[in-house]
Amino acid sequence: MKTIVLANAKGGTGKTTVAVNLSACLALHHGKRVLGIDLDPQGNLGISFGVDPRQLTHTSYQLLTAENPDVRDYIAEIKPNLHLIANAIAPDLENRLEASHNRDSLLRLRLRQLKGQYDYVIIDTPPAMRTATMNAIVAADEVIVVVDCGFYALYGLTDLMRQIARVSDAYEKDDIVIRGLLNMFNRGQNLDRDVKKEVSDFFGGLMIQTIIHKNVRLAEAASASKSIIEFDASAPGSFDFLKLSKELLSEYEPEEQKRSATRAK
């Protein structure tokens, strides 16, 4: 079970868009068993999968703050292979979480109950480096920092890297991988090409090669509560996200990917 966290303290960079579409590609296209977890009280991950946050009886914040919960009670099946722990606005639970004992490692502890039941856990985080995001990083094998092509793209990244390093020191997570992913790229814009170079220099060899281009169909898919591969398989956004999922799988499961490429020939 590999746990991947989408993070950036900057708002609106595409964390949720990547969480939704990467989860969908891994589960629906590659047949992996995927659990999405929304740690953002805005509840956008659930909304993008058609879940109404007002109807939720079990949320990720309840899971973190409950005493001895059974994680399975909090999981909803969206599709076969694609499961979700959703979230909703709950200031009282956020305060309770902030005040909890061992507050940063609650999610890691809860996820131990699911060992072996999923291939990938994909966690969406809020645009802030507070307790929810700390929980995601403590539980993570890999953090993907989603960077948008706009002004201040690099703003706050050094801080984010420092925070991740602090958490990985405190919890002895020497092997946590931090990678950059460029989103909303528009080839025709000089600014975007400049940002691409700056972000690639910042992440060096840990930059993900696939770039997610700006594509209005991605925003439309989110409004229709669908992943892009279900909403419009021929959209550029579908192509980008399938490419991203293949790039990541060829790193996570190189043998398996080689075997399926041979089978396809």
> What would the two tokens of residue 149 be?
């092509």
User: Residue 146: which of 184, 172, 115 has the closest Cα?
Assistant: 184
Binders of ligand ATP among residues 68 to 127 (CB under 6 A) are 127
Binders of Mg ion among residues 37 to 96 (CB under 5 A) are 44
| 15 binds ligand ATP per the rule CB under 6 A | yes
Phi then psi dihedrals of residue 232, to 5 deg: -155, 90
| 12 binds ligand ATP per the rule CB under 6 A | yes
The site that binds Mg ion (CB under 5 A) totals a number of residues, namely 3
| 16 binds Mg ion per the rule CB under 5 A | yes
Starting at the edge strand found earlier in the chain, the sheet holding 82-85 runs 76-79, 82-85, 34-38, 120-124, 2-7, 142-148, 177-183
| 16 binds ligand ATP per the rule CB under 6 A | yes
Binders of ligand ATP among residues 125 to 154 (CB under 6 A) are 127
13 binds, among ligand ATP, Mg ion, none (CB under 5 to 8 A by kind): ligand ATP
- Residue from 7, 14, 28, 110 binding ligand ATP (CB under 6 A): 14
Task: Convert 7-26 to b/e letters by CB count within 10 Å (16 or more is b).
Answer: bbbbeebbbbbbbbbbbbbb
Residues that bind ligand ATP (CB under 6 A): 11-17, 40, 44, 127, 183-184, 212, 214-216, 218-219, 222
